[in-house]
Amino acid sequence: MIHVMQRADFSEMQCSVARTLDIIGDPWTPLVLRDIAIGVSRFDAIHRNLGLSRKVLTQRLNSLLEHEVVERTAYQDNPPRFDYTLTEKGTDLAMVLLVLQAYGDKHILGRDNAPVVWQHLNCGNQANPVVCCDQCGEQVRPGEAIPTPGPGFDGEAFPEISKAFDRIQQLLAAL
Amino acid sequence: MIHVMQRADFSEMQCSVARTLDIIGDPWTPLVLRDIAIGVSRFDAIHRNLGLSRKVLTQRLNSLLEHEVVERTAYQDNPPRFDYTLTEKGTDLAMVLLVLQAYGDKHILGRDNAPVVWQHLNCGNQANPVVCCDQCGEQVRPGEAIPTPGPGFDGEAFPEISKAFDRIQQLLAAL
DNA sequence: AGAGTGAGTTTCTTCTGGGAACTCACTCCG
DNA sequence: CGGAGTGAGTTCCCAGAAGAAACTCACTCT
């Protein structure tokens, strides 16, 4: 029997973006994760805050648990009730949402309408997260990074990406 | 006549994360955007590379055009054929994908299997993008930022978020 | 003349998401 | 002590979205 996969399944794909999207690649999961990151930690609280259907919330929470970005701890037994919190893997993933939020603040809502801002504990200031290069420490501005084949690149499997790499190298050589 | 929305529509939501997800909040759109960012710029090339259905690719490209993160320029007329490229708004959005990819490289595939790495033009090194505070310039590590109400926060509209903020402030005050 | 390419469009079927109601094990209130 | 409330799901139905595959159409190349 062939199992027909309806929702896109990226779990076999040799691509970091696709594999991460297997965790947060739908409209609701990132919002659920954001709520948990902010400290809205219970089923009904998340449901009230987001207004998504209870069925979908159940599915998303289970998926987050499976991917080990979220864990739950009982705050009462019988009936069992839980607080959902981020794991370390989840706290790291929340950084992606921080950058996502910064994009929305800047390009869609406008900084003056941002409903949530983050305070950087180390310096105490309100932080606008920016993306930096871990080598030189400088901010990487849009267009200042170019894609190159990594250690796991398989040109046979991705001929279109291969061609794109070649075109980029030609452009660079022409300078 | 009531317009029943099937796919979640976040376009009225006062939330930067949700509004950004209105653009890239599904499994395929981020991958399409990534392809365009890398330089895979034509319909068939993206289709071959990703293996999604042509119908969905058409829809996603149109959505990206509407959101003005992607534009297209004809490289021939009659029949009209196009190259899809990022707008400035799109180049900025691609930075979010850079961070998303970095997460996948680190937590899912492993850095040694990364198929694509980015070279930071300014310093010439292979860059692992990290999230930094624009105020102090230091890296913001997971857990080093705490959420606080921003200028556009409406406590009436989001009581659960309000409560979460209160709990956080209590925790901070207790230190 | 016939095959190939590029970019869609159409059809058909299966699956997923939203809405709303139902369940169940308590707790709280008068 | 009876009834309302809360928290976390589960179940059902229906409409829309995704996938596969075939079709279109205007060329170009051999």
A89 touches strand D (CB under 7 A): no
pTM equals 0.94
Confidence category of residue B6, pLDDT binned at 50, 70, 90: low
Confirm or reject contact between B70 and chain A (CB < 8 A).
Answer: no
What proportion of chain A, given as a percentage, has pLDDT over 90?
Answer: 89
Q: Are B42 and B84 in contact (CB under 8 A)?
A: yes
Which pLDDT score, from 0 to 100, does residue A7 have?
A: 66
Among residues 102-141 of chain B, which lie with CB inside 8 Å of chain A? Answer: 102-109, 111-123, 125-140
A3 touches strand D (CB under 7 A): no
- d(Cα B62, Cα B51) in Å, to the nearest integer? 18
Provide φ and ψ at B61, rounded to 5°: -65, -45
Averaged confidence pLDDT in chain B = 93
A12-66 pLDDT tens trace: 899 999 999 999 999 999 999 999 999 999 999 999 999 999 999 999 999 999 9
A54-97 pLDDT tens trace: 999 999 999 999 999 999 999 998 888 999 999 999 999 999 99
Which pLDDT score, from 0 to 100, does residue A9 have?
A: 85
Contact A16 B109 (CB under 8 A): yes
Cis peptide before B142 (omega within 30 of 0): no
Contact B27 A8 (CB under 8 A): yes
Which residues sit close to strand C, CB under 7 Å? A 4, 6-7, 26-28, 51-56, 59, 78-79; B 5-8, 42-45, 53-55, 58, 61, 79, 81-82
Whole-number Å distance, CA B163 to C1' C12? 49
Averaged confidence pLDDT in chain A = 93
- d(Cα A47, Cα A54) in Å, to the nearest integer? 7
Find the largest Cα–Cα distance for chain A: 70
Size of interface A-B (CB pairs under 8 A): 360
Q: Which residues of A touch B143 (CB under 8 A)?
A: 91
Which pLDDT score, from 0 to 100, does residue B2 have?
A: 35
B84-140 pLDDT tens trace: 999 999 999 999 999 999 999 999 999 999 999 999 999 999 999 999 999 999 999
Confidence category of residue A3, pLDDT binned at 50, 70, 90: very low
Q: Is the pLDDT of residue B67 over 60?
A: yes
Q: Are A20 and B101 in contact (CB under 8 A)?
A: yes
Of B21, B38, B92, the CB nearest to A147: B38
Confidence category of residue A130, pLDDT binned at 50, 70, 90: very high
